């Protein structure tokens, strides 16, 4: 997606080096998964330990976290689902060796609220895994130089363009203020 505004050209492009949601350092809600083709680790939260805990203690808290089974459809890529899944070929291509953990705290006091957060985390991961992450590059067309860029817009190609347009509008206003008549 491209757009020209004045002397500036905006290009919205797929972010080919996006940060994983795990890189954001969120300790309140996160994924752990262990499979030979897909893995996400977190110190102190081994999926096997969570599984063993759930069967031994029959409760839905692990170290102060609600936990929810995370399914992964692994077939020419990875798609995640928390709670339930409707993946094709579920007998062969679906693994359930992971969890979404959500810290029990004021805004996630109930299991239902925690589950909604787990669904949101799962959606972020699916956006990342399918490559639906965008960035923009702004070029001054008069001298063909890149003047600004920003990446990491998850699933928001249109919002990425809107952000870039706002920046270009500000740049044009600055250009006009600095123009001596």
The mean pLDDT of 176-180, rounded to a whole number, is: 73
Same domain, 120 and 76: yes
The helix (H) or strand (E) run that includes residue 75 is none
Question: Which residues does residue 10 pair with via DSSP β-bridges, in sequence order?
Answer: 3, 138
109 and 146 inside one domain: no
- Number of folded domains that form the chain: 2
Q: Read off the pLDDT of each residue in 17-41 and give the average, rounded to a whole number.
A: 89
* 135-152 per-position pLDDT tens digit: 999 999 999 999 999 999
Whether 62 and 103 map to the same domain: the answer is: yes
Average confidence (pLDDT) over 50-66: 85
What stretches of 27-178 adopt beta strand conformation (E)?
29-34, 39-40, 61-62, 65-74, 78-82, 94-103, 133-140, 145-154
Distance CA 35, CA 166 (A): 43
**13 and 26 both lie in a single domain:** no
For the chain, give the percent of residues with pLDDT over 70: 96
Q: Are residues 70 and 159 in the same domain?
A: no
Domain that holds residue 51: 21-129
Contacts of 13 (CB under 8 A, 6+ apart): 134, 135, 136, 137
pTM: 0.85
- pLDDT (tens digit per residue) in 74-100: 888 888 999 877 776 666 778 888 999
Instruction: Give the residue from 55, 61, 57, 53 showing the smallest Cα distance to 105.
Output: 61
Same domain, yes or no: 50 and 122: yes
d(CA 135, CA 160): 6
Query: Could you tell me the pLDDT band of residue 131, with boundaries at 50, 70 and 90?
Result: very high
């Amino acid at each position: 997606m491209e757009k020209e505004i004045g002397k500036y050209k905006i290009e919205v492009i797929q972010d080919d080096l996006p940060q994983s949601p795990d890189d954001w350092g969120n300790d309140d809600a996160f994924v752990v998964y262990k499979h030979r083709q897909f893995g996400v680790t977190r110190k102190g939260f081994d999926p096997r330990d969570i599984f063993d805990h759930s069967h031994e203690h029959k409760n839905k808290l692990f170290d102060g976290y609600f936990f929810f089974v995370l399914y992964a459809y692994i077939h020419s890529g990875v798609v995640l689902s928390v709670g339930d899944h409707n993946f094709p070929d579920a007998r062969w291509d679906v693994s359930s060796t992971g969890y979404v953990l959500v810290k029990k705290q004021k805004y996630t006091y109930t299991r239902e609220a925690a589950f909604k957060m787990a669904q949101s985390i799962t959606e972020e991961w699916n956006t990342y895994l399918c490559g639906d992450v965008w960035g923009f590059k702004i070029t001054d067309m008069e001298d063909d130089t890149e003047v600004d860029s920003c990446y990491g817009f998850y699933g928001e190609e249109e919002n990425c363009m809107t952000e870039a347009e706002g920046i270009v509008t500000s740049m044009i206003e600055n250009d006009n203020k600095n123009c001596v008549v």
